[in-house]
Amino acid sequence: MDSNKKEKRYIRIITQIEELIKKTSDPLARMSTIIAILHHKFNYFFWTGFYRLVDEELTVCCYQRSVACLVLEKQKGVCWAAINKKKTLVIPNVKKFPGHIACDSRSASEIVIPVWCDDKIVAVLDVDSKDLNSFDNIDAKYLEQIAKKIYG
């Protein structure tokens, strides 16, 4: 997707998300709404969802598309790596990421964004694409802004 078009679309989406989530401070309602919007606005978003970090376990929360792994194996894969590194990870080719957890074998690239509540990571936003190299620093920048709104 053309960078300029992508950036403009994110800016419009953020306005839409802000309008909707101000109706409640409930984080699950906000997360579900964010997923519903994101998943339908970008055709390269093949799987879009949140995993919540509760009691040292990553358990799937709201998501769209194919059935996910309900609980991710501890300290393995991209989601745990993003939590341990405390930063967004953009993975151009998941097959080259050691320990990648493939809930759907069609996934080819991925981005994972930590969700913070105060000074703690409480969830991750995870998006998979069927194509290689789908995500870049524009996705990272705006998805981080969106993730900050959940507890903002």
Interface with ligand SME (CB under 6 A): 47, 68-69, 72, 77-79, 100-101, 103, 107, 110, 126, 128
CB of residue 143 to ligand SME, shortest distance in Å: 15
Tally of CB atoms within 10 A around 50: 25
Which of 128, 139 has the CB closer to ligand SME? Answer: 128
How many angstroms separate the CA atoms of 147 and 2, rounded?
Answer: 23
Secondary structure letter of residue 67 according to DSSP: P
How many angstroms separate the CA atoms of 35 and 26, rounded?
Answer: 15
Which of 99, 152 has the CB closer to ligand SME? Answer: 99
Which of 77, 114 has the CB closer to ligand SME? Answer: 77
Which of 6, 100 has the CB closer to ligand SME? Answer: 100
Name the residue number minimizing CB distance to ligand SME: 77
Place of tokens 């509540």: 117
CB of residue 129 to ligand SME, shortest distance in Å: 10
CB of residue 30 to ligand SME, shortest distance in Å: 20
CB of residue 14 to ligand SME, shortest distance in Å: 23
Secondary structure letter of residue 56 according to DSSP: T
Who's near 123: CB < 8 A, 6+ residues apart?
A: 31, 50, 51, 52, 53, 61, 114, 115, 150
